[in-house]
Structure 1
């Protein structure tokens, strides 16, 4: 299949050609109109004069412009045919370009599905393989009431929420506290996801950005955990984000009942979490 870039380049070239042909046809039509005006002027002059010399001159002008019009009509017919062919080329290329774009989109989606499935599979295997050892070492492993998933750009709000949660004695996993200097970020996040009862997910425009790797990694892990245990884990909070943005990002997440920082205060959020933890 021809690449999208090559098809787009071809389409641009055909479009420029079509514009050039249409401009040329317009110039022919204008020239024909000018010739008709000269013929009409010559006819009026003949009707007004008795001079044989003037009549001969004007008659010659009429004959000349009539020949010119006949030539212009032939050129218009030829260029109309060229325009029709070029339009056919454009339509054909547009169809090819649409198919190529759909093919590329399918490839991207298939690759994303494979990558997501690989992540989920690896995390599910990790959960299954460690389930027995977790039970034996439960006293030695730190347990968390809630995991905080967020984008770094939302730290100001998240720090306020974290302080309020800590003041109520809620044990949280928070990257600023839980990922130590020199520690593996991925392993620290995996431990936080594995040993947290719930996860507050601060959904914002920054969180859903395509450039954010860790937020996507955390969310994938949370979906795996919910699927493996059949229990609610994700507690969504909308922060400076619209319903349309959420639906475009994730239909399944947008359908969940969420708290909203535009409506719910930090105290509201803390109180709702306390009720769940009881």
Structure 2
């Protein structure tokens, strides 16, 4: 049984117990009221009370005694129901504690697995860096005066709907953006231009989407940015989740899943652009 189901059962039982206690309290008040009425009637009976009046008062006392007895019976019935409900509540709470313990162990196992995957990713990444990094050594870099603020890595499927409007919004804010439509010219070497953009940008904005994760070219850009980040030991990659979940990101890269990301599902393009601008400041 799930924790949610057990919690719902506990909530329901607590309500039922509260209702039973309230009903028992009402019956207790009825019992006390009946007994008080009996005492009140008894005080009015004297040696001068006529037989007719006496019979009437005794009948009234008899009715009140029955009311008190009925209330006592109902309270006893409520006590039985309360004992049953409280017993079930105890079992549900024990079940909840057990379920939460199982969940905690699963979370701990998942965290250990994630850490192993992270270590494995870092090992593979170092191997990839050794392959990618030499290509940088043959490219002229501009270390003191970077040409771009952001390099936008994205899949072409996301261009029209999200990436291009984002790049245009950033440029309208006076931010220097390496974006293929803005930066590539006829005759340019695609590989060299992208490598120069990757090297000469302060940050790499990665628009993570399902299409991005399937592309070899975006994977090359991503690995290149990771290489820069690890080589310089400072933040370079700024991820944007575009219509994906944390599980999607975790499956693609535990390294990226650990990073605070912007999200196109919860933020407007203007809000994302503003948050990116804040990074520069």
2:220 corresponds to which of 187, 211, 232: 187
1:80-131: CA deviation from partner (whole Å, max 9, x where unpaired): 2431342232133123213312322432343244245324413422322552
TM-score by length of 2: 0.55
Structure 2 Cα separation of the partners of residues 158 and 98 of structure 1: 51
Shift of 1:8: 2.6
Structure 2 Cα separation of the partners of residues 176 and 128 of structure 1: 22
Match of 2:95 in 1: 96
Please give the residue correspondences for 1:6-21 in structure 2 after superposition, counting only pairs within 5 Å.
6-21=5-20
Give the aligned CA root-mean-square deviation in angstroms.
5.1
1:144/1:171 contact within 8 Å kept: yes
Give SS of 1:175's match. strand
Gaps of 5+ in 2: 153-161, 178-198, 261-274
Shift of 1:58: 0.5
Match of 2:205 in 1: 175
Shift of 1:29: 1.2
Structure 1 Cα separation of the partners of residues 93 and 135 of structure 2: 62
Give SS of 1:50's match. coil
1:28/1:76 contact within 8 Å kept: yes
Match of 1:220 in 2: 255
Please give the residue correspondences for 1:11-50 in structure 2 after superposition, counting only pairs within 5 Å.
11-47=10-46, 50=49
1:35/1:66 contact within 8 Å kept: yes
Structure 1 Cα separation of the partners of residues 89 and 135 of structure 2: 68
1:153-185: CA deviation from partner (whole Å, max 9, x where unpaired): xx7998769549xxxxx92243379xxx97643
The count of residues paired between Structure 1 and Structure 2 equals: 223
